[in-house]
């Protein structure tokens, strides 16, 4: 029919023949793929033949990003999800069922804690919270129904470092699997699968992408029953979009450079903050007085992360004044940007916890989380000085 949109869509056969290939990965913004036969469609949907049919099941931009993530983590399998929370959901929905028990680090990102406690309880999955730095309490909390132990490599926001080798051993001794949220470390500092973890998740929205323009997650593993995970992603609707995956693949190309630079700055700034008046305490695994400094040295091969947390004297009122006067360092509840940003866990990432829970974690009104970018350290200290003058 003349004028029908199909007439305007150039078909591959009608395109000029070319012997060259694009250097940059093309974006495939198609929700569905045209199949040649019933047999072909069926075989691809069954996973017997490689190919794409429907974007929610698989698409080339997610496959390209997943393959880069597999290289970075030394993983055989990876799936890209619509967010870090979707990656955690994929792990829970594919690995747990009603009646199971999960051991949850009490130091997780606030939304992860809510998912693994409130939401899992609704599905009949019980939990026990544990301190990731008290391994005896982990062993004591394991039950015969324990299927999963969940921990962050470097915890948000107090930056405690979990001993992943010991936790993996403990999990396996009790017939459970270890799921590690590696967001604060990134594969540049730590590859948890090599330390015995069974599943690794990342919020790709953070350092992995690095430009605050994408919301994506990663779940990767060396486990053989991976089709349960990809099925959960498709069935529960946790899949990613092509443009986000394309952007994140571009961000990943500079990951080691960005992380190296931000880690250097984080070390410098944590030492500088340690000598400033108005600050009660500085948390950074690179500082010698950090409780897990020795473990961090072994586990991260000389780098200590891109986030520094510090606690202002004067509580929330001091934090409010500080944030108002450090406008050159944007206040936003995320991390892992090329520019340095500030966050206030009490009112953002951990606002879903009760006051008592936050007190146990040591998150107060004066707690500030600084995510280092790649600017000069002079720019950062100048901006922080402006904030500290208001205290």
Q: Is 366 a binder of ligand PLP (CB under 6 A)?
A: no
3-state helix, strand, coil in the chain (%, to 5): 40, 15, 45
Q: Is 283 a binder of ligand PLP (CB under 6 A)?
A: no
Q: Report the nearest approach of ligand PLP to the CB of residue 378 (Å).
A: 28
Q: Note whether 196 and 168 are within 8 A (CB).
A: yes
79-87, 186-194, 266-274, 323-331 -> range binding ligand PLP (CB under 6 A): 79-87
User: Cβ neighbours of residue 360 under 8 Å, at least 6 residues apart?
Assistant: 106
Strand partners, 178: 149
Q: What token pair was written down for 185?
A: 């470390």
Query: Can you say whether residue 175 is alpha, beta or left, with left for phi > 0 and alpha for psi between -120 and 50 degrees?
Result: left
Q: Is 203 a binder of ligand PLP (CB under 6 A)?
A: yes
Which C-beta is closer to ligand PLP: that of 91 or that of 312? 91
Closest CA relative to residue 255, chosen from 194, 185, 355, 325: 185
Closest residue to ligand PLP, judged by C-beta, is 84
Binding mask 4-43 for ligand PLP (x = CB under 6 A): ----------------------------------------
User: Cβ neighbours of residue 327 under 8 Å, at least 6 residues apart?
Assistant: none
Q: Is 241 a binder of ligand PLP (CB under 6 A)?
A: no
Q: Is 183 a binder of ligand PLP (CB under 6 A)?
A: yes
Sign of CA dihedral 201, 207, 209, 211: positive
- 359-369 in b/e form (b: 16+ CB < 10 A) is eebebbbbbbb
User: Cβ neighbours of residue 378 under 8 Å, at least 6 residues apart?
Assistant: none
124-132, 181-189, 228-236, 285-293 -> range binding ligand PLP (CB under 6 A): 181-189
Q: Is 205 a binder of ligand PLP (CB under 6 A)?
A: yes
Closest CA relative to residue 384, chosen from 286, 272, 306: 272
Which C-beta is closer to ligand PLP: that of 315 or that of 330? 330
Binding mask 147-176 for ligand PLP (x = CB under 6 A): -----x---x--------------------
Radius of gyration of the chain measured on its C-alpha atoms = 23
Q: Is 181 a binder of ligand PLP (CB under 6 A)?
A: yes
Residue from 28, 109, 130, 284 in contact with ligand PLP (CB under 6 A):
109
Q: Report the nearest approach of ligand PLP to the CB of residue 39 (Å).
A: 39
Which C-beta is closer to ligand PLP: that of 215 or that of 329? 215
Q: Is 217 a binder of ligand PLP (CB under 6 A)?
A: yes
Q: Report the nearest approach of ligand PLP to the CB of residue 184 (Å).
A: 6
In whole angstroms, what is the distance from residue 151 CA to residue 233 CA?
A: 22
Closest CA relative to residue 315, chosen from 355, 272, 286: 355
65-73, 80-88, 95-103, 317-325 -> range binding ligand PLP (CB under 6 A): 80-88
Binding mask 110-129 for ligand PLP (x = CB under 6 A): --x-----------------
In whole angstroms, what is the distance from residue 2 CA to residue 44 CA?
A: 34
Q: Report the nearest approach of ligand PLP to the CB of residue 166 (Å).
A: 21
In whole angstroms, what is the distance from residue 123 CA to residue 112 CA?
A: 15
Residues near ligand PLP (CB under 6 A): 83-85, 109, 112, 152, 156, 181, 183-184, 203, 205, 215, 217, 349
């Amino acid at each position: 029919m003349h004028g029908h949109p199909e007439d305007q869509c150039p078909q591959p056969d009608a395109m000029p023949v070319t012997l060259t290939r694009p250097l940059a990965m093309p974006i495939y913004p198609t929700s569905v793929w045209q199949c040649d036969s019933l047999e072909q469609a069926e075989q691809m949907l069954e996973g017997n033949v490689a190919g794409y049919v429907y974007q929610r099941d698989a698409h080339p931009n997610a496959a390209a990003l997943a393959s880069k993530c597999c290289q970075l983590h030394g993983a055989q399998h990876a799936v890209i999800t619509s967010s870090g929370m979707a990656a955690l959901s994929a792990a829970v929905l594919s690995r747990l069922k009603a009646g199971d028990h999960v051991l949850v680090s009490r130091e997780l990102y606030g939304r992860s804690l809510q998912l693994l406690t409130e939401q899992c309880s609704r599905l009949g999955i019980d939990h026990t919270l544990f301190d990731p730095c008290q391994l005896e309490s982990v062993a004591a909390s394991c039950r015969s129904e324990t299927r999963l132990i969940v921990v962050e490599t470097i915890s948000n926001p107090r930056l405690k470092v979990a001993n992943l080798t010991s936790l993996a051993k403990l999990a396996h001794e009790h017939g459970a699997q270890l799921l590690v949220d590696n967001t604060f470390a990134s594969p540049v500092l730590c590859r948890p699968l090599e330390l015995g973890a069974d599943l690794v998740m990342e919020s790709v929205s953070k350092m992995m992408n690095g430009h605050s323009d994408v919301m994506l997650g990663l779940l990767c593993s060396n486990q053989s029953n991976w089709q349960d995970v990809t099925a959960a992603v498709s069935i529960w609707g946790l899949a990613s979009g092509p443009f986000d995956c394309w952007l994140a693949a571009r961000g990943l190309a500079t990951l080691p450079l960005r992380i190296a630079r931000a880690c250097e700055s984080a070390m410098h700034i944590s030492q500088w903050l340690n000598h400033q008046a108005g600050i009660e305490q500085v948390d950074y695994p690179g500082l010698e007085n950090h409780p897990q400094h020795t473990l961090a040295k072994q586990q991260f091969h000389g780098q200590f992360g891109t986030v520094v947390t510090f606690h202002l004297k004067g509580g929330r009122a001091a934090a409010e004044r500080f944030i108002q006067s450090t406008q050159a360092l944007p206040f936003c509840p995320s991390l892992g940007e090329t520019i340095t940003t500030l966050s206030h866990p009490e009112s953002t990432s951990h606002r879903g916890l009760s006051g008592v829970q936050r007190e146990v974690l040591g998150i107060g009104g004066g707690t500030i989380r600084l995510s280092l970018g790649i600017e000069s350290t002079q720019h950062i200290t100048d901006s922080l000085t402006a904030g500290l003058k208001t205290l």
